């Protein structure tokens, strides 16, 4: 099994992890505002030191590719590229919405769930989102959406829908349906492991 450095900086949560043999062996995170630039590289050094590893001992680096905060994504990708360039390792990328869906599947879906809609906050009533089935397969393109009462009516009519991400809670009053379940979370590096593999 590969050993991969995982970096997730697409939202307000800055997180990093090291995955080895299908499990997370070290992780760090902070929700401190605007800490991505000052904490990402420090987290990676701390984790490598903790595990007695160097970047050269890892097989690849995987970074979140968005959608998300431009500044956060820029910090994550530049850190990942620097590690890969310096150690001659491959660079992998995982979509932010795919990471949120992995988190939903790992945490468990609500009973009767028929769809997962990850949402990344894009300010006001806009989110980046896509529709996934309960196996984690994306059914629609990733796109910005101005959320109103008519959004996702087909999915909500078909059964329970899990809305997950940092844009989920603000949509709860608008998507007023007994079939809507909301989980306000940020994507986390630990959930990237299976995608990176």
pLDDT in tens, 111-134: 999 999 999 999 999 999 999 999
Provide the pLDDT confidence category of residue 1 given band limits of 50, 70 and 90.
confident
Cα dist from 52 to 129, 135, 155, 193, whole Å = 39, 36, 48, 20
pLDDT of residue 143: 96
Task: Determine if residue 123 is left, alpha or beta; phi over 0 gives left, psi from -120 to 50 gives alpha, anything else beta.
Answer: left
Pairing of strands 14-20, 3-8: antiparallel
Q: What is the pLDDT of residues 16-73, one digit of tens each?
A: 999 999 899 999 999 999 899 999 999 999 999 999 999 999 999 999 999 999 999 9
Contact 77, 48 (CB under 8 A): no
pLDDT of residue 8: 98
Pairing of strands 60-64, 3-8: parallel
Three-state DSSP class for residue 54: coil
């Amino acid at each position: 099994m590969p050993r991969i450095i995982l970096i997730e900086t697409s939202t307000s949560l800055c997180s990093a992890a090291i995955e080895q043999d299908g499990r997370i062996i070290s992780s760090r995170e902070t929700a401190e505002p605007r800490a991505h630039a000052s904490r990402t590289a420090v987290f990676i050094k701390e984790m490598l030191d903790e595990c007695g590893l160097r970047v050269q001992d890892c097989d690849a680096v995987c970074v979140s590719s968005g959608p998300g905060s431009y500044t956060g994504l820029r910090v994550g990708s530049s850190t990942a590229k620097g590690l890969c360039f310096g150690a001659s390792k491959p660079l992998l990328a995982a979509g932010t919405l795919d990471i949120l869906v992995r988190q939903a599947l790992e945490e468990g879906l609500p009973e009767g769930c028929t769809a997962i809609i990850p949402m990344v906050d894009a300010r006001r009533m806009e989110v980046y989102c896509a529709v996934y089935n309960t196996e984690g397969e994306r059914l629609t393109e990733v796109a910005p959406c101005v959320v109103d009462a008519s959004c996702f009516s087909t999915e909500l009519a078909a059964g329970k829908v899990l809305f997950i991400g940092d844009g989920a809670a603000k949509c709860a009053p608008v998507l007023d349906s007994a079939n809507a379940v909301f989980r306000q979370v940020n994507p986390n590096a630990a959930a990237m492991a299976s995608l990176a593999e």
